[in-house]
Structure 1
Amino acid sequence: MIAAKQITGLILAGGRAQRMGGIDKGLILFLEKPLIESAIARLKEQVGAMLINANRNITKYASYSYPVLMDETPDFSGPLAGFAIGLKHCQTPYLLVCPCDSPLLPLDLASRMAAELERTECDLVYASTRALNGKIWAQPVFCLMRSDLGESLNAFLKSGDLKIDHWFKALRSTTVIFDDEAAFANVNTPEELLALEKLAP
């Protein structure tokens, strides 16, 4: 069984947040606290160590006392750049990635994904959600992977491809389906922020 102490959590806070007017999303207030704090609070009990990927406001993110890692690829290359730097610094057998702007992320995210990774012996498992109409939606930024995938990812990035699903297809990957769509809701607009605050426990 994969234990929490074998997993490092990586919170992605390195994006441009263009739909929020370029504001650093991790520092946007959610219930009067920066969004990053909700992600930390919900993730820290599920993992043994924590990392934050950020490209701006490094000092503010460092105030949470976790290592803050900047992308090594230029020009905000997207989530995979965050994955790559997380894998480079991960010192546990597994890396669990989630975005900074989903403040209701599941408290059983790590345990369910770890069980599926172990059961299937895959390289990586990502989350999916089931909509009310039964349709399954991939949530690829929420994923648990073996920490020895850095070489594979770096080779993929050097090819010029930045699409998460393309890299996943190059691996042995699978998914875990969660029924609570709201747990994976993220903040892209001020309206979404207000809607999520109403859903928060």
Structure 2
Amino acid sequence: MDPQQITGLVLAGGRASRFGGEDKGLQTFLGRPLAQIALERLTPQVGRCALSANRHLADYEAFGAPVWRDSLPDFPGPLAGMLSGLERIETEWLLTVPCDSPRFPPDLARRLCDAAARDRSTCAFACAPDQVTGDPRMHPVFCLLHRDLRASLGASLSAGEHRVMRWLQSQPHSIVAFDLPADDPQAFANTNTPDDLRRLEALSRHAAPPEHPLDA
């Protein structure tokens, strides 16, 4: 699969209720906005990139990528951002990542693409060992979606389904394990709360910092 046929989308359009309603994508991690870090990690992996946001649009536009608002009202969640992406892309595939996991894999796109091509699936998403139990934990928002899924996703949202995993499991899908020895155990650590953000910052200060591909 040609990476140029993938549009990357950083999802930053939620309510961030566990962040006190503050715009999570604009919170800083090691001194830089989370959404900007995500955009810079994703950009080298795909043909083009955009941001999904519903507030502070000028701040997101300053990161240098198109900003797409949800086509549905009232912050209905990640699936709404995915739908907005599928409605706008000109490429065959959409790859979504959340704005709040600043250490996601630099080879995310390649591994999801390889699985989708091998399985002839229309979507592929990540799975990694839980940091406490070691059991496989799904990370469905790290997801590669074929553009033909737009109608199915729109119908699902119209029917009131807002659970990402439930919808993905209803499609021909691939689950991709990120459990190799060289994989970062914090790759999918997300920062749902300010405490999560500070904890991951503390861990990252004592390890190699997240890559900023566009700064290289």
- Superposed counterparts of 1:22-41, under 5 Å: 22-41=21-40
- Once residues 100 and 169 of structure 2 are traced to their aligned partners in structure 1, the CA distance between those partners, rounded to angstroms, is 25
How many angstroms does 1:65 deviate by? 2.1
- Once residues 181 and 129 of structure 1 are traced to their aligned partners in structure 2, the CA distance between those partners, rounded to angstroms, is 8
2:99 match:
100
- Once residues 66 and 138 of structure 1 are traced to their aligned partners in structure 2, the CA distance between those partners, rounded to angstroms, is 28
> How many residues matched?
200
Output one character per residue of 1:44-90: Cα deviation in whole Å (capped at 9) or x when no partner. 00000111110000111111221111111111100000000000111
- Superposed counterparts of 1:29-68, under 5 Å: 29-68=28-67
Q: Percent identity?
A: 45
Output one character per residue of 1:148-181: Cα deviation in whole Å (capped at 9) or x when no partner. 2111111111111111122112210121011244
- Greater Cα offset, 119-128 or 165-174: 165-174
What secondary structure does 1:114 align onto? helix
- Superposed counterparts of 1:1-201, under 5 Å: 2-131=1-130, 133-179=133-179, 180-200=184-204, 201=209
RMSD (Å), alpha carbons: 1.1
How many angstroms does 1:41 deviate by? 1.4
- Once residues 90 and 151 of structure 1 are traced to their aligned partners in structure 2, the CA distance between those partners, rounded to angstroms, is 14
TM-score (norm 2): 0.89
- Once residues 161 and 185 of structure 2 are traced to their aligned partners in structure 1, the CA distance between those partners, rounded to angstroms, is 28
- Once residues 163 and 176 of structure 1 are traced to their aligned partners in structure 2, the CA distance between those partners, rounded to angstroms, is 19
Segments of 4+ in structure 1 off by > 2 A?
Answer: 131-134
User: Unaligned stretches of 5+ in structure 1?
Assistant: none
User: Unaligned stretches of 5+ in structure 2?
Assistant: 210-216
